[in-house]
Structures are given as structure tokens and as C-alpha cells.
Amino acid sequence: MAKQFFQALMTTALALGAPAAPVWAAKSLAGFATAQSTPASVPAGITRTDLQRHDLSIVGHETVQARIDIAPGAVAPWHRHPGEEVIYVVEGTLEYQLEGQAPVTVKTGEVLFVPAGVAHMARNRTTANGAELATYIVEKGKPLLVPANDIAP
């Protein structure tokens, strides 16, 4: 299931212009939906809506902004980004865990910062929808999301 989640997220990255993806993703992406929808292969309860993507004044970097909805009980498995992620929870309560740290609970109106390359995961342990506004400040031309297969679940 985690592989399907990452395949769907890589589809989004490719649809937005990322030039490369891991081999397993490239072989599995044919036929997935566009970046504005959530393919059926995404784990139940995870929906990603891409909002904007722009080059930055910092050479070789761009910003990508997306809304990620996480339904009750859903999990976004361990992954990394080629840059920083700034998270603002817009709805509900979500639990995040960064590599080497204890889980933290982030509620509506609260923020979380994920340093570049740090593995992290998110889950919704509540009975209500949770949603975040994710703003990525990343190296241009790299996949937006890379599975963190070296992290034990």
C-alpha cells in the first residue's frame, strides 16, 4: 500500500514537470490520473490537491504548494523531500513523526517545519478529517517525494 501511495505522489510530481522518478515509479505510472485528482491506487483516505508551483529567486529552487487531506485512520508513510516542508494544519488534528523524534500532535492553526531530507510520516488518529497546507521549498528538477525505505514502520 505504501508503494501505491508513493506512486500516486510521484505521478503528481511528474505531471508538474519533475524530470525524473525512481525506476519503480516510472514503470508503474502509466494510466494514473492527472495532478488535480487522487488516483484510486492512493491509500484510502489520502487526497492531494496541488495548488501552485513557482520558480524562486534562489537559483535552482522552486516552491510547490498542496493541500493534503488525511481521513480518519489514514497514514502517509515515511518519506523525504529534496528541501524544506512547511506545514500548516488547516483542519482537524494530525500526528507527525520526524526521523529520530517522538510523534507530535498538530492541531488546526498550528505549524510544523520539516528540514530538508529528514524522513517523516503523518497520520490521522481522530474520527474527523485532517488537512494540511504543505509548502515545499525544494531543489528544482528533483522528485518532490522519495520513499524512506530505510525507516522501519
- The reply to whether 152 falls in a domain is no
Tally the domains of the chain. Answer: 1
- The reply to whether 90 falls in a domain is yes
pLDDT, tens digit only, all 153 positions of the chain: 444 444 444 444 444 444 333 332 332 222 222 344 444 445 678 898 999 999 999 999 999 999 999 999 999 999 999 999 999 999 999 999 999 999 999 999 999 999 999 999 999 999 999 999 999 999 999 998 888 988 876
- The reply to whether 139 falls in a domain is yes
- The reply to whether 44 falls in a domain is yes
- The reply to whether 97 falls in a domain is yes
Per-residue DSSP letter, 2: H
What is the span of the domain harbouring residue 97?
2-147
User: Looking at the whole model, is its pTM more than 0.85?
Assistant: no
- The reply to whether 153 falls in a domain is no
Q: What is the CATH number for 45?
A: 2.60.120.10
Farthest-apart Cα atoms in the chain, separation: 43
Rounded to whole angstroms, the Cα distance separating 124 from 60 reads 34
Rounded to whole angstroms, the Cα distance separating 4 from 48 reads 14
